[in-house]
Structure 1
Amino acid sequence: MKAIVSTKYGPPDVLEFKEVVKPIPSDNQVLVKVHASSVNYGNLVLLRGEPFLARFAFGLLKPKYAIPGGDIAGTVEAVGKDVVQFQPGDGVFGDLSGCGWGGFAEYVCVPEQALALKPSNLSFSEAAAVPMAGVTALQSLRDKGKIQPGQKVLINGASGGVGTFAVQIAKALGAEVTGVCSTRNIDILDSLGADHSIDYTKEKFADNNQTYDLILGVNGHQPISDYKRTLKPNGIFVHVGGSSAQMFQAMTLGPWISKTSSKKVGSFLQRANQNDLVFMKELLETGKVKPVIDRQYKLSEVPEAFRYFEKGHAQGKVVITM
């Protein structure tokens, strides 16, 4: 089969498009013919080995996982004898970040717990855009952010992969949503149902005297003091992504702020979860959430897809088709 292979850390140029051995499923695995995958921040960490601390999970001197790619959508080709949830012919989607990656390939073997049935109203390309970004948005809002109906929620970085899902999920959970993005992305937020939009090229969200019950920092470089000032009493800030300085402040100052005030500041790391994939499937099939796809690249064009993704201006998701 054809796959993208990574044997050393570095820029997208280190990725090789080559023939490798097609995998054979073990007793508890599902063999999936991959139709589409997508690019996420975790793929970038696995590619470059940065930040350095990530290498303790991904391989200290070289990548532990030769074939990158976390999100997949495809068709079940074969199942091991102990698999009970799926059968050949099923359309599935899933997140492989917790079970060895391998999504940038024509076939992959994964534990059945990493998969869910593909939403019936989505194409394979659309389904591949969902798992990591959609579940990240869901878990950060529901589990870390403790979102409640009627709350005012601010999403900074609302037009990217996680942000577009976060806007829709927050609305589906009954919140009043304000999205922060650039001028060219205002129309996207309107189409996703955001109640309010802030164009960060024209105004700073921290300067408009509005306060929020929950803030998601999906992108940006604002100091933690801006987020703290913009939170209501008992409000929660969840750092999902953004600049290294912002992440460092959330990790070091967040616990102190949380202990010394009524406001909570914390970081969040997504965990692959089958139940949350099923929850996303229900939101997608009822039309409450839809994936936003910016660009699609062929498997052989993965290095080019990474170069575009690294610029940080993708409107929604970057998808890889086989």
Structure 2
Amino acid sequence: MKAAIYTRYGSPEVIQIIDTEKPVPKPNEVLIKIKASSVTRADTMMRAGRPKFGRIFLGLFKPKNTSLGTGFSGVVESVGSEVTEFKIGDEIFGEKLFSNGCNAEYICITEDMVIALKPTNISHQEAAPICDGFLTSYNFIKEHAKLKKDQHILINGASGSLGVAAVQLAKVLGAKVTAVCSSKNSDFVKSFGANRAIDYTKTSVYNLPDKFDVIYDTVGTLNYKDTKTILTTDGIFMTPVLSRKVMWQMLWNPKNVKFEATGIKKTEDLKRLLKELINLFEEGKLKTHVDKTYILSEIVTAHQHLDTGRKVGNIVIINP
């Protein structure tokens, strides 16, 4: 089978497509023929080895895990002898972290991991990014912010994968949403429920007259210290993008500054959140926006597009 890997840090050109053995499921695993997989900003940061202090975990001089891609959707091709929850032919989506990546033709994954039956009302392309975008944003908005009806949330990077998910989730919870993006994406984020859009190239969020209960910085470009003037007294500043500054601010302001790598939460917690998201997708309250699709052999181009910073929604790799 074919799979995307990177053996050194750098630009998209370090990615290679290799031929490798098709995996065989262990007794507690399912073998999935991947129909679609995600390409995310987190993938590009790991590929580039950024931030550099993150290489303490990723590998100091070269990546320990050379695989790419975490989110996937596909069809069960075979099952191990101990598998009871899934059967051959089931359409499944989810995520796989810290091991063989999903930017490939096949993966094996244990049935107790973060996987579930794909909602029948969405495609594989729409399902593949859910655990990267929606699951991460839902964890922050529900678990960390505990966002409530009529509260006001500012979402920075609102037109990206995490941002589009956050706008929709905040509206489902009944909050007022101010979205920060470029002017060309203003109507786009409003179509997903944002009450208003702020063009970050023309207006500094630090100078807004509003007070926000929650600031969700999906792209890691804001500074908590500067946002305190626009946060309510007990306001929450949260971001999925780790930096030294965020680590320091969390130490001094643990009640107000929140960071978490959602993927390392307990599996049972992630499965609980995912189940709630599935219900919302089945009810038609949430929708995945796919910006561009590429085939696996075009994954370098997909990473190049991501590096431009002009992605709107999600990028998906498809296996025809």
Q: Give CA deviations for 1:215-269 in whole Å, capped at 9, x if unaligned.
A: 101125333222211111111110223xx7xx332221343245xxxx7122232
2:267 maps to none
2:262 maps to 270
**Is the Cα contact below 8 Å between 2:220 and 2:239 reproduced in 1?**
no
Map 1:156-195 to 2 at 5 A.
156-195=156-195
CA–CA distance in structure 2, aligned partners of residues 85 and 42 of structure 1: 30
User: How far off is 1:281 after superposition?
Assistant: 1.4
1:232 maps to 232
Q: Relative to 1, partners in 2 of residues 1:38 and 1:248: Cα closer, same or farther, differing over 3 Å?
A: same
Map 1:1-322 to 2 at 5 A.
1-97=1-97, 99-112=98-111, 113-219=113-219, 221-241=221-241, 247-258=243-254, 264-271=256-263, 273-322=270-319
Could you tell me which runs of 5 or more consecutive residues in structure 2 were left unpaired when the two chains were aligned.
265-269
CA–CA distance in structure 2, aligned partners of residues 107 and 189 of structure 1: 34
RMSD value over aligned CA atoms? 1.7
Secondary structure in structure 2 of the residue aligned to 1:198: strand
Secondary structure in structure 1 of the residue aligned to 2:262: coil
CA–CA distance in structure 1, aligned partners of residues 226 and 182 of structure 2: 18
TM-score (norm 1): 0.92
CA–CA distance in structure 2, aligned partners of residues 53 and 44 of structure 1: 16
Secondary structure in structure 2 of the residue aligned to 1:109: strand
- Give % identity: 37
Secondary structure in structure 2 of the residue aligned to 1:225: helix
User: How far off is 1:208 after superposition?
Assistant: 2.3
Residue identity matched to 1:265: V
Q: Relative to 1, partners in 2 of residues 1:216 and 1:101: Cα closer, same or farther, differing over 3 Å?
A: farther
User: How far off is 1:146 after superposition?
Assistant: 1.8
CA–CA distance in structure 2, aligned partners of residues 65 and 222 of structure 1: 30
Secondary structure in structure 2 of the residue aligned to 1:215: strand
User: How far off is 1:60 after superposition?
Assistant: 3.4
CA–CA distance in structure 2, aligned partners of residues 218 and 194 of structure 1: 15
CA–CA distance in structure 1, aligned partners of residues 184 and 220 of structure 2: 16
Residue identity matched to 1:271: G
CA–CA distance in structure 1, aligned partners of residues 160 and 53 of structure 2: 25
CA–CA distance in structure 1, aligned partners of residues 77 and 273 of structure 2: 24
Count how many residue pairs are aligned between Structure 1 and Structure 2.
313
User: How far off is 1:101 after superposition?
Assistant: 4.1
Secondary structure in structure 1 of the residue aligned to 2:286: coil
